[in-house]
Amino acid sequence: MKVTELARTAGVTPETVRHYSRQGLLVPRRDPDNGYQLYDRRALGRLRFIQRARTLGFSLKEVAEILEQADQGDSPCPLVRDLLAARLPRIRAQIEELQSLATRMEQAIDEWSTLPDGTPNGDSICRLIEHAADDDATRGQTP
């Protein structure tokens, strides 16, 4: 398969296939007659694996480590478990931060709904945001 055919079959862009090839995640062979990159069914399987791993939050560097272990005949499953176990607490912390941000945004929308609009006057750009920062400081929060 050529780049575009592989991309279409896997549901990705040709640039994605080229990027993964430049990263060494996919290894095409070259057609000796025209220099085209050619991919086999194994490359399609690898590409689909990469896409699945990405949906689970694995970085391309981590995917490369996983594929390298598999290519060496070693099971990458322990590595996969360890990587996810290490990442999960960070993801949960990010979710908490985002939930807190959503709450602050909801409160700001409620508080700002009745306030008049202000015009920039050289000292003020948008009173809503500037007063929100003041409100956060009086509550002991960082702006």
Residue 38 is inside which H or E element, if any? strand 37-38
User: What is the per-residue pLDDT for 134?
Assistant: 58
DSSP letter, residue 128: H
User: What is the per-residue pLDDT for 109?
Assistant: 92
User: What is the per-residue pLDDT for 81?
Assistant: 97
User: What is the per-residue pLDDT for 113?
Assistant: 87
In the chain, where the domains are located: 3-74, 88-138
* Burial of 128 (C-beta count, 10 Å sphere; 0-12/13-18/19+): middle
Architecture, CATH, for domain 3-74:
Orthogonal Bundle (1.10)
User: What is the per-residue pLDDT for 65?
Assistant: 97
pTM of the model: 0.73
User: What is the per-residue pLDDT for 21?
Assistant: 97
How many other CB atoms sit within 10 Å of the CB of residue 20?
A: 22
Helix 77-112 / helix 60-71 crossing angle, nearest 10 deg = 170
**Residue 68 identity:** E
User: What is the per-residue pLDDT for 121?
Assistant: 78
User: What is the per-residue pLDDT for 136?
Assistant: 56
Q: Mean pLDDT, consecutive 10-residue segments, the chain of 143 residues?
A: 96 97 95 92 97 96 97 97 96 97 94 82 81 59 53
